Structure 1
Amino acid sequence: MIRNRLQWLNTMVTEPYYFFHFLLFFSYLPIRISSSSIFPPHISLRILRREIQAFLAFSILAFVKMVREETWEGFIADALLFGKAFLFLLALYVDYHLALWYMLAFLVLYIVTQQPAFPVLGAVNSMTPLQLESTLIEGNTSRFWLVEFRSLCSSTCVRLSRNFPELSITYTNKHLSFGLVDLGLFPNVAEKFAISLTGNVGLPTYILFENSSEIARFPGVDFVAKGFHPPITKEYLARHFDLDRLFLEYLNSK
């Protein structure tokens, strides 16, 4: 667990996505300090009040998101979004030229960087479509395979990338294994497993196989057709695929 946290902290420090975001946020400090000598004292005081209000509002929103979000990836994505919004509004209050500069910087950042997924796979087997097919057909490893089909081009997949590895650590046994197929690398496999890539509504998709036969999936076809589905959490996935029952069946068979 400590090793996973250290690896996650190292990702936070070294990933360009996080590094350049923090660089842009902290760039406001020297800009603001240098501009204080330009504005009259009453204008500087008024700006300081707006900055305090923005900081308090950001802190409240971040706290609410921290309580509601199940993964750190989701919380960080929301926190950075709120931070960019408040930074733009503050810059607009100071000078619209500064606001335009930040808007351009955030646009470039959105184009050239991408939020990284949770770097730890836990007990998940990263597989190619050929490896998945041969594993399911041969059936000489596990009776059940729960497979996540995701694409790191989808922000939803990135936000939820922590759930599946942590779920695998809890439930992996000799009868149940966990697999991962990256549809960003193998998009053609989506059609084979009837996964919709339109608007990323069907991502991530989880399919439970028993002896090469699909017995359950999430989201279902009805959810994809409606364009929404219930929030994906570890608890919801465990209930949907009845993982506790499968785990108890394995323990009773020993």
Structure 2
Amino acid sequence: MGLITGVCAFLYHLPQIYKWLLKPYYVTSFFMTVAFLLVRKTPGLCEHLATQREDGNSCDFDWRELEILMFLSAIVMMKNRRAITLEQHMGNLFMFSKVANVILFFRLDVRLGILYLVVCVALVMTCKPPLYMGPEYIKYFSDKTIDEELQRDSRVTWIVEFYANWSSDCQSFAPTFANLSLKYNCAGLRFGKVDIGRYGEVSQRYMVSTSPLAKQLPSLLLFQGGREVMRRPMVDSKGRAVSWTFTEENIIREFNLNELFQKSKKLNKGRGVKVEEQDDSQPEEGSSELHPDTDNPEQPTESKKDQ
């Protein structure tokens, strides 16, 4: 029964999957991943390649190439054990496959290795992974607005993601953070993001390193009353992030989102009562002021980044 449900779900989402996979980044990455396989197996081309097979068949893998491919499979499986989203699984496959292809092409022919490496570098510079463009309740900060917004109202709790557009981990985490904002955003619990790859001063001010070696991207910081209360991942004495998995369940548990949301709903109701008392005491004809609806979440809108 579970298999049938899974197949039905796959078929239902098949048009969306095709639309997602047909984006230029995934198409080019796929061909770069299978490049050595195509070269080694294409009739008319493989006959002219060098080989270390005893039978001299240059259209089949030799023992060293099989070892490299098996090692690649083991590495991808180990890395994907901690992957959360489909984007992370695909990203690990593409990255390590390209590394393996570089080794295989250099071993086959130095000229082919240099050509493949140049193409890889060109694609990295010109073809970026697609950014998440779905619905979200997220405020995008700049270096000039983040401090002011966090300190505007001491009753508001903020969960802010510090990210960089070049980080694949940040790009993979974007749908999860957006989904959390849709579930938990309210007047007393807000979600924000700041691109510290763009605003270096913010990175230094909040002590979030952008170095790939530090592995602090993305970082989630919880602010209450304008002050940082906690962050994930935590940072050790050497400035390196303690390993932490950015799953939705981990974030809900570590940041006590359910409890924070319940407290924030009470804050919403308190604000609503005050507004109603003010309107009853001073009625104005033709007033078009909107009162906050505390029982229903806001409708999702597309966020705009501060410039």
Q: Which residue of 1 is the match for residue 189 of structure 2?
A: 176
Tell me, what secondary structure is at the counterpart of 1:43? coil
Q: Which residue of 1 is the match for residue 173 of structure 2?
A: 160
Mapping for residues 101-250 of structure 1, pairs under 5 Å: 101-120=115-134, 122-139=136-153, 143-199=156-212, 201=214, 202-220=216-234, 222-223=235-236, 225-234=238-247, 235-250=249-264
Q: 1:8 to 1:248 in 2, by over 3 A?
A: farther
Q: Which residue of 1 is the match for residue 94 of structure 2?
A: 80
Mapping for residues 17-28 of structure 1, pairs under 5 Å: 17-25=25-33, 27-28=35-36
The 10-residue stretch of structure 1 (42-51 or 145-154) with the greater mean CA deviation from structure 2: 42-51
1:68 aligns with 2:82: yes
CA distance in 2, matches of 1:189, 1:226: 17
CA distance in 1, matches of 2:77, 2:245: 21
1:13 aligns with 2:29: no
CA distance in 1, matches of 2:38, 2:169: 35
1:124-160 alpha-carbon deviations (Å, 9 max, x no partner): 22222333333333329x7211111111133442343
The 10-residue stretch of structure 1 (57-66 or 173-182) with the greater mean CA deviation from structure 2: 57-66
Larger radius of gyration: 2
Cα offset, 1:13, TM superposition: 2.9
Higher percent of residues as helix = 1
CA distance in 2, matches of 1:190, 1:160: 19
Cα offset, 1:31, TM superposition: 3.6
Identity of aligned residues (%): 23
CA distance in 2, matches of 1:62, 1:197: 25
Cα offset, 1:177, TM superposition: 1.1
Cα offset, 1:49, TM superposition: 7.8
Tell me, what secondary structure is at the counterpart of 1:232? coil
CA distance in 2, matches of 1:14, 1:180: 25
Cα offset, 1:66, TM superposition: 4.3
8 Å contact from structure 1 (residues 125, 179) kept in 2: yes
TM-score normalised by length of structure 2 = 0.64
Structure 2 residue runs without a partner (length 5+): 1-12, 270-307
Tell me, what secondary structure is at the counterpart of 2:151? helix
TM-score normalised by length of structure 1 = 0.75
Tell me, what secondary structure is at the counterpart of 2:179? helix
Tell me, what secondary structure is at the counterpart of 1:146? strand
CA distance in 2, matches of 1:229, 1:178: 23
CA distance in 2, matches of 1:93, 1:126: 47
CA distance in 1, matches of 2:213, 2:47: 49
Q: Which residue of 2 is the match for residue 35 of structure 1?
A: 45
Count of aligned positions:
249
CA distance in 2, matches of 1:10, 1:162: 17
User: What is the RMSD computed on CA atoms of the aligned residues?
Assistant: 3.7
Structure 1 residue runs without a partner (length 5+): none
CA distance in 1, matches of 2:237, 2:20: 33
